[in-house]
């Protein structure tokens, strides 16, 4: 083999190694940047209004609560739009999200825009915001708590099935699928519901700055239309996102021209790789190659079975 051929092969090997280490270096820099961004809570977007959407039946969502919490300290977020279209869900889910929204509302403007339904726990999460908008036909309110437990003892008796229960105490299996509630069991379950109901009423009274006696009068579980809710003091204004942005501009100095960005519960890294950084890495890779190869617990939910 000639000296010229050896030199050519050595150059190719060196070039391949150089390309490999270039790519590793770029990848390491990108990963380090993503880690730093994730720790600092800084996103890729410029100054904007964050939109938090809560739709459907509400269950505990720690990622959403964490994402909402992060908005309080995000300097790029100048205000928050909470968009609700939900019949409610678990009391615990409503409480967790309510508390996160309340924390954000102490730091920056937060406004609720209700869709077709924002009832029960869906209404609970709206009350700490500084202004609530709803359509005239929005169904909201339904302030209350329920516990439901199916009971099949009648059916089991008809088909000749018996259930034996061994329990450590008289209330351990209350409520039960295989026998009716006992008298004391019903009292205990009712006490639980009453306590959570009292908590719900207190949350509404505080958030809406209403006398607790008035809230109790309204909180018999019924839903209200947006127009009724406005007259009762449960919401502030008829309208949607356009009206909400206009109010924030007039009252909170948040320009209407400021872009709105949806809050995602995906990780910073996954958002980045699926978006701008993903495209950037693809371009880097092309450049490199071209150089080398040429329902838990109780529920606060409005049941719409009667509609």
* Residue-wise pLDDT tens digits, 66-116: 999 999 999 999 999 999 999 999 999 999 999 999 999 999 999 999 999
Token digits of residue 94 = 């409503």
Determine contact, residues 15/266, Cβ cutoff 8 Å: no
Residues 240, 181: Cα–Cα separation, whole Å: 45
CATH topology for 43-142+222-264?
Answer: 2-enoyl-CoA Hydratase; Chain A, domain 1 (3.90.226)
Work out the mean pLDDT of the chain and round it to a whole number: 82
Q: Which of these is catalytic: 78, 86, 90, 120? A: 120
C-alpha closest to that of 140 among 300, 255, 305: 300
Q: What residues contact 281, with CB distance under 8 A and at least 6 apart?
A: 26, 27, 30, 273
Q: Which of these is catalytic: 172, 253, 270, 274? A: 172
- Is 172 a catalytic site residue? yes
Q: Report DSSP state, residue 260.
A: E
Under the banding of pLDDT at 50, 70 and 90, the label for residue 157 is confident
Question: 4 pLDDT exceeds 50?
Answer: yes
- Percent of the chain predicted with pLDDT > 90: 58
Q: What DSSP assignment string belongs to 42-104?
A: --SS-SEEEEEEEESSB---HHHHHHHHHHTT-TTEEEEEEEEEE-EEEHHHHHHHHHHHHHH
Residues 48, 71: Cα–Cα separation, whole Å: 11
Domain residue ranges of the chain, discontinuous segments joined by +: 3-39+270-294, 43-142+222-264, 145-212
pLDDT for 172-204, tens place per residue? 888 888 888 889 989 999 999 999 999 999 999
Residues 207, 302: Cα–Cα separation, whole Å: 20
């Amino acid at each position: 083999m000639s000296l010229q051929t050896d030199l050519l092969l050595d150059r190719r090997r060196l070039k391949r190694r150089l390309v490999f280490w270039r790519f590793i270096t770029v990848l390491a820099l990108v990963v380090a940047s993503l880690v730093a961004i994730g720790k600092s809570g800084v996103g890729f977007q410029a100054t904007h209004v964050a939109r938090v959407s809560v739709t459907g039946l509400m269950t505990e969502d720690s990622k959403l609560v964490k994402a909402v919490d992060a908005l309080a300290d995000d300097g790029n977020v100048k205000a928050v739009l909470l968009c609700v279209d939900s019949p409610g869900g678990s009391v615990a889910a409503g409480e967790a999200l309510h508390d996160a929204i309340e924390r954000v509302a102490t730091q920056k403007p937060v406004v609720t825009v209700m869709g077709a339904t924002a009832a029960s726990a869906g209404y609970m999460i709206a009350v700490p915001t500084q202004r609530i908008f709803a359509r005239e036909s929005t169904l909201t309110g339904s302030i209350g708590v329920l516990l439901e437990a199916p009971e099949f003892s009648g059916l089991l008796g008809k088909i000749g099935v018996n259930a034996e229960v061994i329990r450590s105490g008289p209330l351990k299996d209350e409520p039960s699928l295989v026998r009716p509630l006992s008298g004391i069991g019903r009292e205990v379950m009712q006490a639980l519901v009453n306590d959570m109901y009292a908590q719900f009423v207190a949350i509404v009274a505080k958030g809406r700055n209403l006398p607790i006696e008035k809230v109790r009068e309204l909180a018999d579980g019924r839903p209200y239309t947006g127009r009724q809710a406005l007259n009762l003091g449960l919401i502030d204004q008829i309208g949607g996102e356009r009206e909400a942005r206009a109010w924030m501009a007039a009252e909170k100095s948040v320009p209407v021209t400021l872009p709105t960005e949806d809050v995602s519960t995906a990780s910073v890294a996954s958002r980045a790789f699926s978006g701008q950084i993903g495209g950037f890495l693809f371009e880097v890779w092309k450049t490199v190659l071209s150089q080398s190869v040429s329902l838990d617990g109780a529920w606060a939910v409005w049941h719409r079975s009667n509609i």
